[in-house]
Amino acid sequence: MTATFNWPVRVYYEDTDAGGIVFYANYLKFFERARTEWLREIGVHQKQMLAEFNAVFVVKATAVEYHASARLDDELRVTVVVEKTGRASIVFLQEVWCGERMLTSAKVTICCVDMEQWRSMPIPKPVLQLIQPALFVNEK
């Protein structure tokens, strides 16, 4: 496990607008894919979390800054860093890079939600135990 998780994304035609650049909202999809793959990498499988704990992660908040544009066929690198965990939430710092150029940066907060009551719940202990090592790597 490294402090920063990297996930490759290629820009497809469907990701772009009429001007041939990535439509701003699609960066949120890139961030989501990278967070999902990070969870999978550390052993958190969301279908299993739902089946065992009746819990899912949902996005609670985003703060995104756009620095430059990605274009059709660009090879991007989406990063994931865990900033902190709370009782029911995880705060991520994420970036999208094209080569050595940062295109977009974001702070994304996800919340663990009970699917029956549709309200926040503590992150299940077995899930949190898989997430915690990522925090310690970032503190070094």
Amino acid code (one letter) for 73: D
The question of whether 17 is a catalytic residue gets the answer: yes
Nearest to 22 by CA among 35, 32, 9: 9
Split at pLDDT 50, 70, 90, the class of 132 is: confident
pTM for this prediction: 0.91
Q: Are 123 and 50 in contact (CB under 8 A)?
A: no
pLDDT digits (tens, 9 = 90+) for 71-120: 999 999 999 999 999 999 999 999 999 999 999 999 999 999 999 999 99
Give the domain 5-139 fold: Thiol Ester Dehydrase; Chain A (3.10.129)
Q: pLDDT by residue (tens digit) across 7-45?
A: 999 999 999 999 999 999 999 999 999 999 999 999 999
Among 15, 17, 73, 74, the one annotated catalytic: 17
Please list, in sequence order, all residues whose beta carbon lies within 8 angstroms of the beta carbon of residue 93, skipping any fewer than 6 positions away: 81, 83, 105, 106, 107
